[in-house]
Structure 1
Amino acid sequence: MSNNSPWQSPDSAGVTGEPQPYAPQESPQFAAPAPSWTPPPKPGLIPLRPMTLGTILSASLMVLRRNPRPIFGLSLIIMGIITVLSLVLVGIITVSGIDRTLSASEADAATIEAGATAGVILAALFAVTLSLVGGSILQGIVSLEVARGAVGEKLRLRGLWNAAKGRLWALIGWSALVAIATFIGIVVFSFVVALFFAIGGTAGTVFGVLAVLAGIVIGIALMAWLGTFLALVPSALMIERLTLGRAIRRSWSLVSGSFWRTFGILALIIVIVQTVSSVVTAPLSFIGGLGVGLLNPTGNEDTAVAAFIGLYILTVILSVAIGAVTIIIQSAAPALLYIDLRMRTEGFDLELTRFVEARNAGDNSVADPYLTGGSTATHSSEPSPYAAS
């Protein structure tokens, strides 16, 4: 019987007796790619995620570089006004007091000298108060720049001022509260020290000196503790536009649980800024003193006075410029910490990301995240002050 089966021997197919290894199948072309991690967006000043120390330090420096004209210009104006007013006031009172003391009789000299000293002290206190007010105003305005920079916006000087002018009185109220508390603390400290010295004798002197040392240590510790817990008050006043009482509670609640981290970052930035400022100003003072000698080799009195006045004016100008830069950096740090702490405690990074993505997609229905949201704050219902900027 014939066999018409198409069967062939295994050898004809090239198959040996050994088992064949498995031949993997090629992946289909429509296979999905492996999932990968996508970093949070960085639309502007900072990445929209909780920040590290390095991020806060670099962003504090980047504030001035990113939008220099309005920020540095406004800082220069405020610092210049404060410096000029302080110098003029203290100078007039000092010169007037010295003139009255020199022209007074021996019987009245002691009284006039005491009055002149009191006037100089009051003028110095006024200068400190003025510095507190100007520094708080500038910190609030820098806070606005940091907040808008975090979502990729740049405001011009007019936009920053329009956003800030409705809150300036709140900042001035905060500055006045700080100044009054500081003044009361100084008065109490002085009264206690005076009581110890009034005891007289060796014991009174020893107790008085110990009271001075203890008061300085306690004062520094108290200022560091309260200053850390209340460091975010200007940011809460300006960014969330809260009332003063709510802003104080807001700052305290955000810092609670992160006190040492907040204190460490703020202290580190102050040390860095002041060190760099000293390194810059020290050579300038040395060069200036050397220049006076070169300009007046004969020791002429009129030339010496003119050189001193010129050097003094130049030093004031350089001090104002350097102070304008340092106060911007120091003001940016609390605002960055304010945003960082909200990210860590409230998931604020998600709100910022949603706002940025919606704005980039042309959707303007998402509300400003700085004026809405936040489980622990009561926000005002006023419209966003940045819309027209």
Structure 2
Amino acid sequence: MTESPGWTSPGSPEAPPGPTGTGHSAPVPPPAAGTAPVPPPAAGTAPAGPGIGLIPLRPLGFGELMDGTFALVRRNWRAAFGLTLALAAVLELLQAGIDWWIHTGGGGTEPLLSANYLAPLALFFGVLASGLLAPVVSNGVLGRDTSLAEAWARARARLGRLTCLCLLLAAIGIGALALAVVPLLLLAFATDLPGLLALLLLTVPPVVWLTIRLTLAVPALVLEEQPVLGALKRSWRLSRGAWWRIFGLTLVFRLCLTAVAAVLAGPGEIVDMVLEGTSGGGAGDGSTAIGIAAVAVFGTVARTVTLPLEGALQTLIYVDQRIRREALDLELAHAAGLPGYARPAAAAPSGA
């Protein structure tokens, strides 16, 4: 599979010559000889940008990013769902094991917390899925389809660094949360519960702020072949000045994915509740095992659908930020071979 060009960071030895400004103000090259000029946009409308596939190569709006995410995953559904199916199945099998253990010998309060046992692993798999989907999205931006074998071949070459980055991001998140929560827990004995809850709420914004600033590290590592620390630095630079925009996109999209997951996983929950009600919930009862299996099956479907959507949005935000800051759209248009976006030929040496 041919590597998608145009993803190296500005100033790197591999970066091709091109505009690297801090906004979308780079001049568009004139059309090549013999091609019809592109008509100007109508008054009051934004430039459409060069069209290649499902995503126009220009700064994208809020709705365009979300629509483009669904469109890219739908077009490459075999690669997208194939890469995340194994991750979803592992999570749901572990969750089913926990549910069965709680059913046969767990305490009365543990079922309320069972969904949180795998939360760290679910976050880790979510970040990993974003890295696996980054090549699929990058090809989709250029109007190219990606098979499951091609997507895995590109992701496998970076799987070691991607895993290290996932672990480092998890450690940073846990460390930031611990630094904020531990002092409050030490004060728990000297304050009442409402005061403690208010202090705990104050610890959430710093952790969320740090998470958003580092959210573009995964696509930077995969698409730019950055080292782990270099990917973190790239995310920090690309998200500067765009925190609220990235936060809003991520929040709204995750709320949408939560609703989608609830619809897809709902039949399994209904089957489990019906069987539990008819059997009385006895330990070791066969109908309870069937209910847990139904929850696992439908939960796997829900995670298989939502994991690639979340990862695709993350990569699209990364592409959009580079278009806004580094005029990446011109380089991608050249890589796609659009008329009028070819680089000028190098001048011949004098006396040739």
Structure holding more helix per residue: 1
Q: For residue 301 of structure 1, report the CA deviation from its aligned partner.
A: 7.6
Q: Single out whichever of 55-64 and 281-290 deviates more from structure 2.
A: 281-290
- In structure 2, relative to structure 1, the CA distance for the partners of 1:86 and 1:184 (3 Å cut) is farther
Q: For residue 274 of structure 1, report the CA deviation from its aligned partner.
A: 1.1
SS for the counterpart of 1:318 is helix
What does residue 277 of structure 1 align with? Answer: 261
Q: Select 2:123's aligned residue among 132, 142, 160.
A: 132
- 2:261 equivalent to 1:258: no
- 2:146 equivalent to 1:162: no
Q: For residue 286 of structure 1, report the CA deviation from its aligned partner.
A: 3.7
Gaps of 5+ in 2: 1-35, 42-47, 346-352
What does residue 12 of structure 2 align with? Answer: none
Q: Select 2:221's aligned residue among 234, 237, 240.
A: 237
- In structure 2, relative to structure 1, the CA distance for the partners of 1:189 and 1:355 (3 Å cut) is closer
- 2:324 equivalent to 1:344: yes
- In structure 2, relative to structure 1, the CA distance for the partners of 1:91 and 1:218 (3 Å cut) is farther
Q: Select 2:308's aligned residue among 328, 335, 339.
A: 328
- In structure 2, relative to structure 1, the CA distance for the partners of 1:35 and 1:150 (3 Å cut) is closer
Contact 1:133 1:171 in 2 (8 A): no
Partners of 1:124 and 1:90 lie apart in 2 by 12
What does residue 172 of structure 1 align with? Answer: 163
Q: For residue 36 of structure 1, report the CA deviation from its aligned partner.
A: 2.4
- In structure 2, relative to structure 1, the CA distance for the partners of 1:46 and 1:174 (3 Å cut) is same
Q: Name the aligned partner's letter for residue 352 of structure 1.
A: L
> What's the C-alpha RMSD, in Å, of the aligned pairs?
3.7
What does residue 110 of structure 1 align with? Answer: none
Contact 2:184 2:199 in 1 (8 A): no
SS for the counterpart of 2:150 is helix
Q: For residue 124 of structure 1, report the CA deviation from its aligned partner.
A: 6.6
Larger Rg: 1
Partners of 2:100 and 2:179 lie apart in 1 by 28
Gaps of 5+ in 1: 1-32, 99-116, 199-203, 367-389
Contact 2:268 2:296 in 1 (8 A): no
* Aligned residue pairs, count: 300
What does residue 144 of structure 1 align with? Answer: 135
What does residue 44 of structure 2 align with? Answer: none
SS for the counterpart of 2:336 is helix
SS for the counterpart of 2:59 is coil
- In structure 2, relative to structure 1, the CA distance for the partners of 1:94 and 1:178 (3 Å cut) is farther
Q: Name the aligned partner's letter for residue 307 of structure 1.
A: S
Q: For residue 227 of structure 1, report the CA deviation from its aligned partner.
A: 1.7
TM-score, length-scaled by structure 1: 0.67
TM-score, length-scaled by structure 2: 0.73
Q: Single out whichever of 274-283 and 345-354 deviates more from structure 2.
A: 274-283
Partners of 2:297 and 2:282 lie apart in 1 by 23
* Higher relative contact order structure (alpha carbons within 8 Å, sequence separation ≥ 6): 2
Contact 1:193 1:212 in 2 (8 A): no
- In structure 2, relative to structure 1, the CA distance for the partners of 1:196 and 1:65 (3 Å cut) is same
SS for the counterpart of 1:210 is helix
Q: For residue 291 of structure 1, report the CA deviation from its aligned partner.
A: 5.6
Q: Name the aligned partner's letter for residue 93 of structure 2.
A: V
Identity among equivalent pairs (%):
24
What does residue 225 of structure 1 align with? Answer: 209
Q: Select 1:353's aligned residue among 333, 339, 344.
A: 333
Q: Single out whichever of 225-234 and 76-85 deviates more from structure 2.
A: 76-85
Contact 1:132 1:175 in 2 (8 A): no
Deviations 1:349-382 (A, max 9, x none): 1111111116x99x9xx9xxxxxxxxxxxxxxxx
Partners of 2:237 and 2:38 lie apart in 1 by 38
Q: For residue 310 of structure 1, report the CA deviation from its aligned partner.
A: 0.6
- In structure 2, relative to structure 1, the CA distance for the partners of 1:60 and 1:37 (3 Å cut) is same
Q: For residue 218 of structure 1, report the CA deviation from its aligned partner.
A: 2.5
What does residue 214 of structure 1 align with? Answer: 199
Q: For residue 275 of structure 1, report the CA deviation from its aligned partner.
A: 2.4
- In structure 2, relative to structure 1, the CA distance for the partners of 1:197 and 1:263 (3 Å cut) is closer
Contact 2:127 2:166 in 1 (8 A): yes
Q: Select 1:52's aligned residue among 51, 56, 61.
A: 61
Partners of 1:180 and 1:334 lie apart in 2 by 20
Partners of 1:93 and 1:301 lie apart in 2 by 12
Q: Name the aligned partner's letter for residue 40 of structure 2.
A: W
Partners of 1:90 and 1:289 lie apart in 2 by 14
